[in-house]
């Protein structure tokens, strides 16, 4: 092992330069005019797999963005680890708030700034490079590995979901490893055992078939923005509870173990509020902040479109207004069941004076892995070796919907060991990744593969 760790240390600067090249590719999956960049990024990843010493490298074309596969399978009596990552990134807007170009990575104060620096290029790169360090140091790996990187995580993993169903044999493994989550705090190795799910809906409210003069018609015809605002305001009660019928019906209660575990994490509301520059936190009454973030479902309006939004004033009754509403779901909520209840409820609280359409954009199931799992224990040993500190166990408020597909299709545990921080501004301007976490990530990945050999 020492050779591998030394190899990583000696090559750290090169790895960083290569990461910069990866970050220069604007692989924004949601933008239709970025198809070439997505293909270029898939080829970049395939190349890195090759240089690492991986074999059977394949770029699979899909209806949208390519999936990249590679493996190394020369230890028939050892377990097989499947490593998942996503090479797509979120859009960069609002671009004017970036202090440097999102696709010209810079290092300031031991942090690398670029879109994707944390989510997920910086994090998934550690696994490619730890494998490379092993193969270059010893000519072999301690276990079998398979790599599977996709380009649609930020838009719902549609192609990979289909691919998993059709390629169970190719992807057969004993455990899945993913680094796409956060550490609980700086210098705190973290294993995440739960992710929230997601249900994304759109509500469209239409009144008259065209915009109207608000003097000639205001007071006589419904205003879709006003009506939409009333609808949204009815989705939560004064205690912050979601009012959609049966919303909480399948929510698992918080276990005794979790209550204890959360206490141990010593979360500070005050510090959290300070970091976000808000006077007070807010949310469902009767639950602690960690509970509200990790084990309770939520409902949020993500955007409202409608009416006159330019500078200045215009007296208009808009014809239409749209709201984007998403819900973070927890075990054992069923996204499709909730989508039905949501649509029914919205219809039931809408006035006759407007036409209301409710659409589902996408959804993903919540995920959980038992912390009693053998691979989780192995990951804990590896993280302790890399950080020289015992890991903490957390859940995550965010979602990685494809994880559940892996668990269901391949019947394996998911080990989520992330090296980001929730202050790294993922999805936001000035996204960054701390170099110390990049380095610890490299060690953690290497130790994990080594420890898996005894699993």
- Residues forming contacts to Zn ion in the complex (CB under 5 A) are 119
Using CB under 6 A, which residues numbered 113 to 132 contact ligand BES?
119-120
**Which contiguous run of DSSP H or E holds residue 163?**
helix 158-166
Using CB under 6 A, which residues numbered 165 to 194 contact ligand BES?
180-182
Q: Spell out, one character per residue from 148 to 167, where the chain touches ligand BES: x when CB under 6 A holds, - when not.
A: -----xx-x-----------
What is the DSSP annotation of 223-275? -HHHHHHHHHHTTB-TTS-B-STTTTTTPPPPPHHHHHHHHHHT--HHHHHHH
Q: CB under 5 to 8 A by kind: which of ligand BES, Zn ion, none does 319 bind? A: none
Query: What token pair was written down for 369?
Result: 């892995």
CA dist 364 and 333 (Å) reads: 11
In terms of CB distance, is 119 or 227 closer to Zn ion? 119
Q: CB under 5 to 8 A by kind: which of ligand BES, Zn ion, none does 398 bind? A: ligand BES
Count residues near ligand BES (CB under 6 A).
Answer: 15
CA dist 422 and 434 (Å) reads: 12
What is the DSSP annotation of 39-56? HHHHHHHHHHHHHHT-EE
In terms of CB distance, is 224 or 401 closer to ligand BES? 401
Q: Spell out, one character per residue from 323 to 362, where the chain touches ligand BES: x when CB under 6 A holds, - when not.
A: ----------------------------------------
Judged by CB under 6 A, the residue of 102, 142, 224, 364 near ligand BES is 364
Q: How far is the CB of 6 from Zn ion (least distance, A)?
A: 33
Q: How far is the CB of 183 from ligand BES (least distance, A)?
A: 10
Does the footprint of ligand BES cover residue 53 (CB under 6 A)?
A: no
In terms of CB distance, is 71 or 153 closer to ligand BES? 153
In terms of CB distance, is 181 or 369 closer to ligand BES? 181
Q: How far is the CB of 149 from Zn ion (least distance, A)?
A: 14
Burial of 209 per CB tally in 10 Å (0-12, 13-18, 19+): exposed
Using CB under 6 A, which residues numbered 384 to 413 contact ligand BES?
396, 398-401
Query: What token pair was written down for 216?
Result: 């000639």
The pairing of strands 144-150 and 80-86 is parallel
Q: What are the φ and ψ backbone dihedral angles of 256, each rounded to 5 degrees?
A: -60, -45
Q: CB under 5 to 8 A by kind: which of Zn ion, ligand BES, none does 158 bind? A: none
Q: CB under 5 to 8 A by kind: which of Zn ion, ligand BES, none does 152 bind? A: none
CA dist 58 and 43 (Å) reads: 10
In terms of CB distance, is 182 or 445 closer to Zn ion? 182
In terms of CB distance, is 161 or 450 closer to ligand BES? 161
Closest by Cα among 437, 399, 397 to 418: 437
Does the footprint of ligand BES cover residue 198 (CB under 6 A)?
A: yes
Closest by Cα among 448, 362, 368, 445 to 403: 368
Peptide bond into 120 cis (omega under 30): yes
Contacts of 442 (CB under 8 A, 6+ apart): 8, 12, 15, 126, 129, 130, 133
Q: CB under 5 to 8 A by kind: which of Zn ion, ligand BES, none does 364 bind? A: ligand BES
Q: How far is the CB of 199 from ligand BES (least distance, A)?
A: 10
Q: CB under 5 to 8 A by kind: which of ligand BES, Zn ion, none does 85 bind? A: none
CA dist 426 and 119 (Å) reads: 6
Query: What token pair was written down for 236?
Result: 């939560």
CA dist 401 and 364 (Å) reads: 5
Query: What token pair was written down for 94?
Result: 């609002």
Q: CB under 5 to 8 A by kind: which of ligand BES, Zn ion, none does 396 bind? A: ligand BES
Does the footprint of ligand BES cover residue 367 (CB under 6 A)?
A: no
Q: How far is the CB of 398 from Zn ion (least distance, A)?
A: 7
What residue number has its CB nearest to ligand BES? 398
User: Contact residues for ligand BES (CB under 6 A)?
Assistant: 119-120, 153-154, 156, 180-182, 198, 364, 396, 398-401
């Amino acid at each position: 092992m020492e050779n591998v760790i030394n190899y990583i240390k000696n090559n750290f600067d090169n790895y960083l330069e290569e990461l910069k090249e990866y970050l220069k590719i604007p692989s924004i999956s949601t933008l239709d005019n970025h198809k070439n960049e997505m293909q270029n990024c898939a080829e970049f990843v395939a190349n890195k797999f090759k240089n690492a010493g991986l074999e059977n490298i394949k770029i699979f074309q899909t209806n949208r963005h390519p999936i990249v596969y590679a493996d190394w399978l020369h230890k028939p009596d050892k377990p097989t680890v499947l490593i998942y990552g996503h090479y797509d990134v979120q859009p960069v807007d609002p671009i004017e708030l970036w202090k440097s170009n999102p696709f010209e990575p810079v290092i300031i104060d031991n942090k690398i700034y670029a879109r994707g620096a944390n989510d997920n290029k910086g994090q998934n790169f550690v696994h490619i490079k730890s494998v490379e360090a092993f193969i270059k140091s010893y000519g072999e790996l301690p276990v079998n590995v398979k790599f599977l990187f996709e380009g649609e995580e930020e838009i719902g993993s549609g192609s990979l979901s289909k691919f998993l169903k059709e390629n169970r044999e190719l992807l057969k493994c004993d455990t899945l490893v993913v680094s796409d989550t956060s550490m609980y705090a700086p210098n705190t190795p973290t294993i995440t055992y739960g992710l929230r799910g997601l249900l994304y809906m759109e509500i469209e409210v239409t009144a008259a078939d065209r915009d109207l003069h608000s003097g000639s018609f205001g007071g006589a015809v419904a205003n879709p923005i006003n009506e939409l605002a009333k609808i949204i305001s009815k989705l939560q009660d004064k205690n912050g509870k979601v009012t959609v019928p049966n919303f909480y019906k399948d929510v698992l209660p918080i276990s005794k173990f979790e209550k204890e575990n959360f206490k141990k994490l010593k979360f500070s509301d005050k510090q959290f509020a300070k970091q976000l520059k808000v006077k007070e936190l807010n949310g469902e009454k009767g639950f602690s902040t960690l509970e509200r973030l990790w084990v309770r479902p939520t409902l949020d309006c993500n955007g409202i479109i409608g009416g006159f939004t330019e500078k200045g004033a215009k007296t208009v009754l808009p014809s239409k207004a749209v709201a984007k509403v998403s819900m973070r779901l927890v075990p054992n909520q069923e996204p499709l069941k909730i989508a039905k209840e949501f649509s029914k409820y919205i219809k039931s609280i809408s006035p006759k004076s407007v036409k209301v359409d409710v659409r589902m954009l996408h959804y993903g199931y919540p995920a959980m892995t038992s912390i009693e799992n053998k691979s989780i224990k192995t990951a804990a040993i590896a993280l302790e070796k890399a950080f020289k500190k015992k890991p903490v166990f957390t859940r995550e408020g965010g979602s990685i919907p494809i994880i559940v597909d892996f668990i269901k299709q391949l019947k394996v545990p998911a080990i989520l060991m992330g090296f980001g921080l929730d202050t790294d501004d993922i999805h936001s301007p000035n996204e960054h990744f701390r170099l110390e976490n990049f380095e610890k990530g490299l060690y953690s990945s290497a130790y994990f593969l080594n420890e898996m050999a005894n699993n």
